[in-house]
């Protein structure tokens, strides 16, 4: 059975006090739920990762992600943070290939491939984001764009490493816009992603990888999106800054 995962991507938000307050509120609400198979992943700014790790220690349902890491292992890269550093403080996941970094930091699939290799070799797990722009969807290129993003950044991995990945399908036109992909568009793309992985590797690997949806996910639309056969949870941006609404998204998994 695939793991259900809901990721809170706080992006560049919160002061330290706000971050501590937010994670404390999330923890207390999560503690009241019976979450058997759902993992809640918090991705704060680098600055607050240690605070969030401390506060969530001992909570089996909550783990921590970094929003990024360097493509280099260590050395003279002023301002960068390496996967080895993140592992040393207890981070579990790293978000890689978010469309905001592809757009504003010019990250391309080949650079992301380098990051993924370092993340995996330093015992962290990548959450790899893929997804098409509106222009690409309108010109019917969405499948080929996503296939290319998978192919160029991931498909060099041997099976045993590929299995460790989490994939997030995040159509760029749905991120932070209030426009959500329809249930049909979501299921169709998630199934496509699984088929592409299955062709490259095999169906048991494809069936074991959690594929999350991201893009204006909220407490109203989460349950129908998460009910899709090939959707295993969500990557949540804006709404993850409000503990109540975020935890309602997590609750979408509870019958």
160 annotated active-site: no
Q: Does 176 bind ligand PEP (CB under 6 A)?
A: yes
Residue keyed to tokens 């109203």? 220
Query: Binding segment for ligand PEP among 24-32, 83-91, 115-123, 213-221 (CB under 6 A)?
Result: 213-221
251 annotated active-site: no
Q: What does the per-residue mask of binding to ligand PEP show for 31-50, with x meaning CB under 6 A?
A: --------------------
Q: Does 214 bind ligand PEP (CB under 6 A)?
A: yes
Residue keyed to tokens 């998994």? 253
- What CA–CA distance (Å, rounded) separates 238 from 8? 9
One residue of 65, 94, 165, 175 binding ligand PEP per CB under 6 A: 175
Task: Report whether 154 contacts 168 (CB < 8 A).
Answer: no
One residue of 119, 189, 217, 250 binding ligand PEP per CB under 6 A: 217
Which residue intervals of 99-231 are DSSP H helices?
99-104, 109-121, 134-138, 142-154, 159-162, 183-200, 203-208, 222-226
Q: Does 67 bind ligand PEP (CB under 6 A)?
A: no
Q: Does 189 bind ligand PEP (CB under 6 A)?
A: no
Distance of CA 31 to the CA centre of its chain: 22
Backbone angles phi, psi at 159, to 5 degrees: -50, -45
Nearest to 225 by CA among 195, 198, 189, 192: 189
Which candidate in 39, 107, 132, 170 is catalytic?
170
- The smaller minimum CB distance to ligand PEP, of residues 91 and 222, is found at 222
One residue of 122, 149, 216, 221 binding ligand PEP per CB under 6 A: 216
Q: Does 236 bind ligand PEP (CB under 6 A)?
A: yes
Query: Binding segment for ligand PEP among 23-31, 130-138, 185-193, 209-217 (CB under 6 A)?
Result: 209-217
**DSSP class per residue in 84-125:** HHHHHTT--EEEE--HHHHHHS---HHHHHHHHHHHHHTT-E
Instruction: Give first-to-last CA distance, the chain, whole Å.
Output: 17
- The smaller minimum CB distance to ligand PEP, of residues 35 and 225, is found at 225
- What CA–CA distance (Å, rounded) separates 116 from 110? 10
Q: Does 237 bind ligand PEP (CB under 6 A)?
A: yes
One residue of 235, 243, 247, 249 binding ligand PEP per CB under 6 A: 235
- What CA–CA distance (Å, rounded) separates 118 from 222? 32
- The smaller minimum CB distance to ligand PEP, of residues 56 and 219, is found at 219
Residues in region 90-119 near ligand PEP by CB under 6 A:
98
Kindly list the residues in this chain that would bind ligand PEP in the complex (CB under 6 A). 9, 98, 170, 175-176, 214-217, 235-239
Residues annotated as catalytic are 98, 170
């Amino acid at each position: 059975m695939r793991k259900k995962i809901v990721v809170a991507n706080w992006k560049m938000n919160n002061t330290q006090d706000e971050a501590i307050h937010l994670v404390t509120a999330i923890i207390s609400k999560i503690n009241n739920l019976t979450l058997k198979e759902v993992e809640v992943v918090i991705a704060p700014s680098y600055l607050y990762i240690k605070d969030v790790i401390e506060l969530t220690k001992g909570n089996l349902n909550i783990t921590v992600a970094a929003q990024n890491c360097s493509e280099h292992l260590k050395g003279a890269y002023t301002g960068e943070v390496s996967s080895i550093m993140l592992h040393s403080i207890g981070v579990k996941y790293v978000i890689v290939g978010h469309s905001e970094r592809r757009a504003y930091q010019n990250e391309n699939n080949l650079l992301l491939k380098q990051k993924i290799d370092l993340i995996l070799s330093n015992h962290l797990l990548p959450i790899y984001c893929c997804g098409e722009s509106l222009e690409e969807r309108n010109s019917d290129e969405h499948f080929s764009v996503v296939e290319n993003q998978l192919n160029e950044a991931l498909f060099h991995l041997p099976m045993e490493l590929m299995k460790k990945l989490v994939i997030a399908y995040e159509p760029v036109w749905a991120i932070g816009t209030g426009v959500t992909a329809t249930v049909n568009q979501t299921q169709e793309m998630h199934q496509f992603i699984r088929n592409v992985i299955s062709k490259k590797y095999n169906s048991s690997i494809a069936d074991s990888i959690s594929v999350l949806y991201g893009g204006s996910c909220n407490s109203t639309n989460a349950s129908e999106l998460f009910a899709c056969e090939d959707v295993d949870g969500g990557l949540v941006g804006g709404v993850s800054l409000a503990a109540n609404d975020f935890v309602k998204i997590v609750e979408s998994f509870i019958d």
